[in-house]
Amino acid sequence: MRMTGAERRQQLISIGRALFAERGFDGSSIEEIAARAHVSKPVVYEHFGGKEGLYAVVVDREIANLLGRFEAALGRGHPRQLLEHAALALLDYIEEETDGFRILIRDSPVTSSTGGFSSLINDVASKVEYILDREFKSRGYETKLAGLYAQALVGMVAMTGQWWLEERKPKKNEVAAHLVNLSWNGLRHLESKPKVITRSVK
């Protein structure tokens, strides 16, 4: 049965996603995408204009998926619960959408219109910053540095997620528990005005 235009587009996106995850952007080609779909190269160009266009669509979909998970996780609740939900949102995504995460953590080509994983992390950090700002105010801490703490927390979860992508040990819930243990217990005992107590000698 002949595919509709929408069905063909979805097929090419699925094939491109698998190939980009397997070989990266530079290691993938329109020729192989077309061959796997059993179509001619002009069909791929017709839908996406080229490899860059297909890649941008794949990355944009992955970013929307993961950002949606984070937004749902960072809804209402106690700040400790929100940290746990955020950590599990990323780990769930890695477990369920491994190909997508492999694509996101690779650098996007210069020609891509998407900012990739670093842009996504900044979006998530801005949401976490709002939560930390509120929490800092309630504790009488300086709120202007909430952004710094948000970047540190989100970066910690993201880097741990990249490590866990390959390791897959310990189990997901245990990884989340340790991330929350480090971040929450650290936040709970924050000094209001921390200072460096040692300095390297030049």
So what's the pLDDT on residue 119? 81
Q: What is the mean pLDDT of each run of 10 residues along the chain (202 residues)?
A: 90 97 94 96 96 94 90 85 91 94 74 64 86 82 87 90 91 94 83 78 56
Cα separations (Å) of 74 from 60, 70, 89?
21, 6, 10
So what's the pLDDT on residue 159? 92
So what's the pLDDT on residue 115? 59
So what's the pLDDT on residue 176? 94
So what's the pLDDT on residue 111? 44
So what's the pLDDT on residue 198? 81
Dihedral, 166, 172, 176, 177 alpha carbons, nearest 10: -130
CA angle 96-98-101, nearest 5°?
Answer: 115
Structure tokens at 131: 């939560």
So what's the pLDDT on residue 21? 95
pTM for the full predicted model: 0.82
Query: Contact, 12 vs 48, CB < 8 A?
Result: yes
* Domains contained in the chain, CATH given: 61-188 (1.10.357.10)
